[in-house]
Chains A and B, each alone.
Chain A
């Protein structure tokens, strides 16, 4: 099993390593403050009433409500249609225009307060109607007359909007989840909720939470894409499409009012179309307003099949084992292997990676099972690892054998390591050599990966194999999309295999049809794809992080036999279908696939540039002919044929993607075109062809590291010197400027100048770089609280846009609220004119104004983009080029951090920068803190206090406290002291060498003069000098400095 070329293992390095854990409250959930005080309403179905409304606002930074339009439906019939306005935001002329328009068309004409009381609450609350809008959170915030931070435990970081002065009306709480979804609900109203009769009859009337449907959310869940109203209307082919206008913010005209009325009409039609589309799924147990994402759709199908979640079926599954499983969990592999080289390549990816792995490992049996059994399989696993052959991995029946987690003692074995490489603030995962004094859990698939790369099996200490119990008794078949031809019986069929087979079948049918039928089939195959992906991974490792008011006692299950008590202010609540075993096994198997591909590539004498979860870019060695290269790649693809579990799709699992195909008249044809790749770091790569002048034609670029920035220019105003893109930017979701920026990077690489140039050196990039984001949480809105000390009408409100800038490299630092010096973090209320906004930006922590000259431009922000390091590996530093090499990580228990969800508050961090506090931190291993502390104390005792203080930038007073053990010191500080050892050692050696030289020099001087004379010249006491010469005292730096040429 030894690979052809096993590279030499480099010397080990120490980095902090993060390990996922499972955490539970100590005791029986008595501290779970998010438990709802009231039970949900019995009647989940809204009434036949629907309110659709839309608001038009000012275009300044306040985005105040000007007017809005609405429609009320009873069933499919319009019962009321009208306009509402905000008196303070309109001129008398505007008001007259609206009034005349309403009168002419027979529309209702209401003031905002009247609309909220007599339409919004009447139909949306009293009549239990559905409230519909596009970007509903924003529209509701325009109607509000006040807001606060929500206080209920399940709506943390949410806003609570006061809608009406009527004290008996409920508030609305909105918790922002992502750009596509938010939880919206009514609060309990401030009144006696049970009448006398209900009280006497002991009837418990549920709290009415409302039925809110944001079209953005539903559209994203059903189509897996983000839509604007225009694109959604086009996609759904509704009768009335959105109109265009340029009259936003100007005086109101009849044309503008018609535009607004059309918006509501389009929204209504889109809602009805989506509602009908959802009805086709036949998911009677989940209402439309309960769908928040594709994962919700997946969970609804599982519910429809009567599949009970694992945690409900098997409540006695030991938490210690869950902890062990969680420590073995790592996400998909995403790496760059050949860096900053333009290489001839073929790009391939695995077919439906996670559903395929679930099918290979037969994980569906676990989903429908009454529980999970496990047994000790240590000996079997050892034998298997010692004796398996490469061809065993090609067998379909081998998959179920991978349902094992293994405790290993890594000794230069290759495992995924989640570490803070090169002192970076974030933990990233890289497949590296690992030597650990502490045993760790891994999947059996990861052990095979290690064996493939090193030629030796890791040392197995313990192994548990899992098997499903018998299927649940009340499973029901379900017809996907309501089509009886797409029936899936959960008890008999492998759900994932069935879905992918159906999808293949539909795609084949779609190829043979045209027009409406083709569109219908395309929609169906997309729905199947969404369903397969939604039910194969994410829902099984869903953990929702809750911020607690104060630190509480918890038990941490980290793979040890006993849990460790900890205190934490963050808790991860498992999702409904949480089953970490399935998540860790499927991701492990996916990583195994990539490693098999890597091994095949290596055996074929080829190389690879990058891999990204389920795709790999194979590169050709320079001296190989193209035809030979293509043949070898096809051989690699054919290796995976036998692993294809599907009956309808007999393609290889690993297939060549369409980026490799020639483009003729805007479409890919079935002929290969020489493809090249250029990769910089994880998720920063591009695929390109070359034209006859050797200029790049980009086929694929990613906007990783760029997407959070506002475009410095749009497609229409793109500079002429950048060629028009060949790819459909809208379809790929890439901005024009990102494409052009990558074009400059690749052009520079082709000409060999990619190190010297700054690809952002263009006139378009000489302006402040800004990111735009909503004030989606109270903490974010608080950043501009200084400028919000005005009446509510003039405030920047929740869900208004904000602009975040960055401090330039020459900007001075400022003292933050934690007392430490740090860079400015400028934010400003949104303005269409970036320069105007930049003139008003403030630091989000201190509130002090930030001058414009301190702001970084695109030129400065993007200066190092093309040199971004791949710090996970060696030879991955900024200016390095070529093949990266695996690191060798050597750790003990003091290096292991137990952490929670890595991508917590991902969106906020994406736009506003990394926040180390966002990730739940569950401490170090037991005893590790004490070890770290004793190491730090030893260092402080060994070296002089003032030298340690200078090196670590910690005050001598605090160091004294640490030395005596009386300080409450953080792990970061202890690590800083530990990390300073090499610098202290170097300094000490230097000092010793200088001291020796000084003593030698003194001896030379004493041959021609007396000690007293010499001491006088050195301005020191002769007795002191005598002691120095005799070696009884070390010379101080001042005296050494007096030595000539010192």
Chain B
């Protein structure tokens, strides 16, 4: 095997090892074409938990990362359980929003519809379509609930922090290192 092929394969295997699967599929958009199109996303943000990760395709990762930057900044250097739970709900809401967006995009692009105008949907296709519709509706309903709950928890954590302890002096700059 040639050297560059070997290095490429080695990189591929390392990435697949990090993903935890040999056949990654993006949770957001069901992309599964090429392993190199995936990236590791920190589900709670690197600050709150550096080890809780999942893989997404590059596009979805960028989308989620952008949304993550809009989340409230960490209150202190040592986040409480309440704050972590709040951020987890916010991130989950982002993932739901991503899935909903991608489903809507697929529908708009007629991805799941039969190609030939004369061909009819099979029972399975109809059932699958119904399932997607229900899933989408559910996520649309649930996403703002999670987001609101997440924000409430973060506010509560903020309130508790101000009540219990004085603000900590730290070198940590949440603006630079979310």
Contacts and interface: CB of A to CB of B under 8 A. Distances in A.
A122 to B, nearest CB: 6
A128 interface: yes
B10 A127 contact: yes
B50 A201 contact: yes
19 contacts: A42-B17, A42-B18, A43-B16, A43-B19, A43-B20, A43-B22, A45-B22, A47-B22, A122-B6, A201-B42, A201-B46, A201-B50, A202-B50, A203-B40, A203-B51, A205-B17, A205-B18, A206-B17, A208-B17
A208 to B, nearest CB: 7
A169 to B, nearest CB: 14
Nearest to B11: A126
Given A201-B46, A202-B46, A203-B50, A43 B17 contact: yes
B6 A126 contact: yes
A813 interface: no
Nearest to A205: B18
Given A80-B1, A201-B46, A47 B51 contact: no
Interface string B16-38: 11111110000000000000000
B21 A43 contact: yes
A431 B40 CA distance: 63
A203 B19 CA distance: 12
A191 to B, nearest CB: 14
Contacts of B20: 42-43
Given A47-B13, A126-B6, 14 more contacts: A42-B17, A43-B19, A43-B21, A45-B21, A45-B22, A47-B16, A47-B22, A201-B40, A201-B42, A202-B51, A203-B53, A204-B51, A205-B17, A208-B17
Nearest 10 pairs between A and B by C-beta?
A: A202-B50, A42-B20, A126-B10, A128-B13, A43-B20, A43-B17, A127-B13, A45-B22, A127-B9, A47-B13
Contacts of A482: none
Contacts of B50: 201-203
A657 interface: no
A124 to B, nearest CB: 11
A247 interface: no
A493 interface: no
Contacts of A202: 46, 50-51
A907 interface: no
Contacts of B10: 126-127
Nearest to A122: B6
Interface string A495-513: 0000000000000000000
Interface in B45-86: 46, 50-51, 53
Nearest to B14: A205
Interface string A220-235: 0000000000000000
B51 A128 contact: no
A43 B13 CA distance: 10
Contacts of A668: none
B5 to A, nearest CB: 10
B171 to A, nearest CB: 17
A interface secondary structure, majority: loop
A806 to B, nearest CB: 51
B18 A48 contact: no
A41 interface: yes
A218 to B, nearest CB: 20
Interface string A8-49: 000000000000000000000000000000000111010110
B128 to A, nearest CB: 22
Nearest to A129: B13
Interface string A73-87: 000000110000000
Interface string A193-215: 00000000111111010000000
Nearest to B42: A201
A128 B50 CA distance: 25
A468 B139 CA distance: 40
Contacts of A201: 40, 42, 46, 50
Nearest to B21: A43
Nearest to A74: B9
A426 to B, nearest CB: 48
Contacts of B16: 43, 47, 128
Contact of B1 (A42, A43, A122): A122
Given A201-B46, A202-B51, A203-B40, A126 B18 contact: no
Given A203-B50, A203-B53, A204-B51, A126 B22 contact: no
Contacts of B21: 43, 45
A106 to B, nearest CB: 15
A41 B22 CA distance: 13
Contacts of A47: 13, 16, 22
Contacts of B53: 203
Nearest to A204: B51
Interface string A399-432: 0000000000000000000000000000000000
Q: Which of B1, B16, B40, B50 has the most CB of A within 10 A?
A: B1
Contact of A48 (B22, B40, B42): B22
A80 B5 CA distance: 14
Contacts of B22: 43, 45, 47-48
Contacts of B6: 122, 126
Nearest to B20: A42
A41 B17 contact: yes
Nearest to A195: B14
A109 to B, nearest CB: 15
B69 to A, nearest CB: 16
Contacts of B9: 126-127
A203 B46 CA distance: 10
B36 to A, nearest CB: 15
Interface in B127-165: none
Contacts of B42: 201
B123 to A, nearest CB: 20
Nearest to A41: B17
A42 B24 CA distance: 13
A74 to B, nearest CB: 9
Interface in A108-153: 122, 126-128
Contacts of A206: 17
Q: Which of B17, B21, B22 has the most CB of A within 10 A?
A: B17
A47 B17 CA distance: 9
A356 to B, nearest CB: 42
Contacts of B40: 201, 203
Contacts of B13: 47, 126-128
A48 B21 CA distance: 12
A693 B98 CA distance: 89
A338 to B, nearest CB: 61
A593 B22 CA distance: 51
A816 B17 CA distance: 53
A153 B21 CA distance: 29
Contacts of A45: 21-22
Contacts of A41: 17
Interface string A613-641: 00000000000000000000000000000
Contacts of B18: 42-43, 203, 205
A240 B19 CA distance: 38
B170 to A, nearest CB: 18
A286 to B, nearest CB: 16
A208 B9 CA distance: 16
A95 to B, nearest CB: 24
